[in-house]
């Protein structure tokens, strides 16, 4: 293209227009923008810019006066964004260039700010700051959900309830024991987000596009300024610039942690939905977290937990989205990676909502003690205990299992419960069944014999409730 036909400088794309003779097509501007979703990174981008500017001033690439102008400009921009007064521009592509141009309007010193950095290491830094913050927020939300579960577990610690396998009544447990199982799972999620935050706590700024810079940058200074430090306050830096800008491990780990947590919430929701049904009737949910029917006036539906269960699919899909996006990319940065943020943001937003809803719904829920006790009083739930009774009297477990199976079949043929069988009837099947065999069907006795770690004995449940109370307090 002849020089006379080249686009005037004031019409060029401000980020990289010097190389190009025409501005981007309007369709390309719409297709390539990321400001619609990465604008939420603005606080982290400004934080990173302030840390970078402080370092540039420290090494003499900014004067003290220029640094103060930049600092004041960043403060003003932070206030504009916080008050939703900032005007985002689609043609500037992303959050970085929107903020840089806005800062340039406040001070000419902004033209010096991008020295020694690229949008590649800039966005990598922004996202690591986001992950550290997001993980802390999710840990707090998890503590809220766990606290609601723990309160219910404390209030109904020893209330008997059937435990299920294959959705068939299996053995008696207690409400406390069952809810503690969900707390244990959410506790692992809490640890998982701590691990993700630790992995995010490494500063990539200073990597540039992939090979750093010839400028006298002080990466340690930036890392300290942005809080990328270890327990001793020492800076933590990415050791390889190519890996620093291409690495999306933390993205995957975060999305995976969100997906795993959503699975746990989905399983909890399934339990609550079943327990809330007329067929079970174990739990009553508050009106504020249920809905009615447009046709059937008697309905009270557990929509809150059904939606939590449904949103799990979305969060799982976000993880798969990330994995497929990253799978075939060469080092280092590729524009495909622009698409790594929407699934991460969506998983964070949806999981945060799910945790808040679970906490809110469980906080005012209560268990129907009569229904729970009635369901747990079925003697068949203690059939395994009867087999254990025989094992303690020298009968091999497989034989004991067979014997109890015969007795169950006999009771069903007589339309009676196991304890209703006569001594003569049971001894005809197995002579080792002594007159005290019916004591097996005493629920309190059954729980009292389960005082080993992990079992639903009263002491074990109390100990585990206290453990979680101490952590959550």
Clarify whether residues 320 and 401 are in a common domain: no
Residue 63 has pLDDT above 70, yes or no: yes
Q: Hey, how many other C-beta atoms are within 10 angstroms of the C-beta on 170?
A: 15
pLDDT (0 to 100) of residue 17: 63
The one catalytic residue in 36, 277, 288, 293 is: 293
- Is residue 5 domain-resident? no
pLDDT (0 to 100) of residue 14: 53
Residue tagged 């109390």 (tokens): 462
- Is residue 16 domain-resident? no
Clarify whether residues 66 and 174 are in a common domain: no
Q: Percent of the chain scored above 90 by pLDDT?
A: 92
CA–centroid distance for 307 within its chain: 16
Kindly report the pTM of this predicted structure.
0.93
The one catalytic residue in 4, 83, 166, 278 is: 166
What range defines the domain where residue 344 resides? 120-373
Residue 457 has pLDDT above 90, yes or no: yes
Clarify whether residues 60 and 201 are in a common domain: no
Clarify whether residues 105 and 169 are in a common domain: no
The angle at the Cα of 262, spanning 258 to 264, to the nearest 5 degrees, equals 120
Clarify whether residues 364 and 398 are in a common domain: no
- Is residue 82 domain-resident? yes
Clarify whether residues 251 and 268 are in a common domain: yes
Clarify whether residues 393 and 346 are in a common domain: no
- For residues 183 and 103, the answer to whether their CB atoms sit within 8 Å is no
Active site residue 166: yes
pLDDT (0 to 100) of residue 26: 86
- Is residue 52 domain-resident? yes
In 3-state terms, what secondary structure has residue 174?
Answer: strand
pLDDT (0 to 100) of residue 3: 46
Clarify whether residues 108 and 233 are in a common domain: no
What is the CB-side half-sphere exposure of residue 434 using CA atoms within 13 A? 9
Residue 277 has pLDDT above 70, yes or no: yes
Of the three residues 62, 83, 115, the one that is the final residue of a domain is: 115
Clarify whether residues 38 and 92 are in a common domain: yes
Residue 21 has pLDDT above 90, yes or no: no
What is the CB-side half-sphere exposure of residue 309 using CA atoms within 13 A? 13
Of the three residues 313, 339, 373, the one that is the final residue of a domain is: 373
Of the three residues 373, 389, 406, the one that is the final residue of a domain is: 373
pLDDT (0 to 100) of residue 466: 98
- For residues 188-196, average pLDDT: 98
Domain tally, the chain:
3
Active site residue 293: yes
Residue 204 has pLDDT above 60, yes or no: yes
pLDDT (0 to 100) of residue 15: 62
Supply the CATH number for residue 396's domain. 1.10.40.30
pLDDT band at 13 (very low <50, low <70, confident <90, very high): low
Residue 40: which residues within 8 A CB-CB, separation 6 or more? 345
Q: Give 169's strand partners.
A: 164
Residue-wise pLDDT for 216-225, tens only, equals 999 999 999 9
Residue 1 has pLDDT above 60, yes or no: no
Phi, psi torsion values for 240, nearest 5 degrees: -140, 120
- For residues 119-144, average pLDDT: 98
Clarify whether residues 132 and 170 are in a common domain: yes
Residue 243 has pLDDT above 50, yes or no: yes
């Amino acid at each position: 293209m002849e020089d006379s036909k080249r686009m005037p400088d004031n019409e060029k794309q401000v980020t990289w227009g010097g190389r190009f003779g025409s501005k981007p097509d309007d369709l390309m501007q719409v297709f390539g923008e990321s400001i619609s979703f990465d604008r939420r990174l603005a606080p982290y981008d400004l934080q990173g810019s302030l840390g970078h500017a402080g370092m540039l001033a420290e090494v003499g690439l900014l004067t003290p006066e220029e640094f103060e102008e930049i600092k004041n400009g960043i403060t003003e921009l932070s206030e504009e964004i916080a008050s939703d007064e900032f005007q985002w521009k689609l043609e500037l592509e992303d959050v970085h260039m929107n903020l840089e141009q806005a800062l340039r309007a406040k001070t000419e010193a902004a033209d010096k700010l991008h020295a020694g950095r690229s949008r590649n290491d800039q966005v990598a830094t922004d996202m690591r700051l986001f992950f550290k913050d997001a993980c802390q927020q999710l840990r707090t939300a998890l503590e809220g959900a766990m606290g609601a579960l723990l309160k219910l577990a404390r209030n109904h610690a020893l209330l008997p309830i059937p435990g299920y396998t294959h959705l068939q009544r299996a053995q008696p447990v207690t409400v406390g024991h069952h809810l503690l199982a969900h707390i244990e799972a959410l506790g692992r999620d809490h640890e998982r987000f701590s691990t993700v935050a630790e992995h995010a706590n490494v500063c990539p700024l200073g990597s540039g596009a992939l090979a750093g810079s010839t400028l006298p940058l002080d990466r340690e200074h930036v890392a300290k300024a942005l809080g990328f430090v270890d327990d001793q306050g020492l800076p933590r830096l990415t050791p390889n610039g190519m890996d620093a800008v291409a690495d999306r491990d933390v993205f995957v780990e975060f999305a995976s942690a969100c997906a795993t947590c959503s699975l746990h919430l989905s399983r909890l929701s399934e339990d609550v939905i079943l327990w809330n049904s007329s067929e079970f009737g174990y739990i009553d949910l508050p009106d504020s977290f249920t809905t009615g029917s447009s046709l059937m006036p008697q309905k009270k539906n557990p929509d809150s937990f059904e939606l939590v269960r449904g949103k799990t699919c979305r969060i799982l899909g976000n993880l798969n989205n990330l994995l497929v996006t990253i799978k075939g990319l060469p080092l280092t940065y590729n524009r495909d990676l622009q698409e790594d943020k929407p699934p991460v943001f969506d998983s964070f937003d949806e999981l945060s909502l799910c945790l808040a809803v679970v906490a809110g719904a469980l906080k005012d829920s209560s268990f129907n003690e009569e229904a729970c006790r009635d369901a747990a009083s079925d003697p068949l739930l203690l059939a395994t205990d009867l087999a254990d009774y025989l094992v303690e009297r020298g009968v091999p477990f497989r034989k004991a299992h067979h014997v109890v199976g015969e007795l169950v079949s006999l009771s069903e043929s007589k339309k009676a419960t196991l304890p209703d069988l006569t001594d003569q009837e049971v001894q005809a099947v197995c002579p080792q069944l002594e007159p005290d065999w019916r004591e097996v069907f005493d629920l309190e006795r059954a729980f009292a014999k389960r005082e080993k770690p992990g079992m639903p004995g009263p002491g074990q449940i109390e100990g585990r409730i206290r453990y979680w109370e101490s952590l959550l307090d």
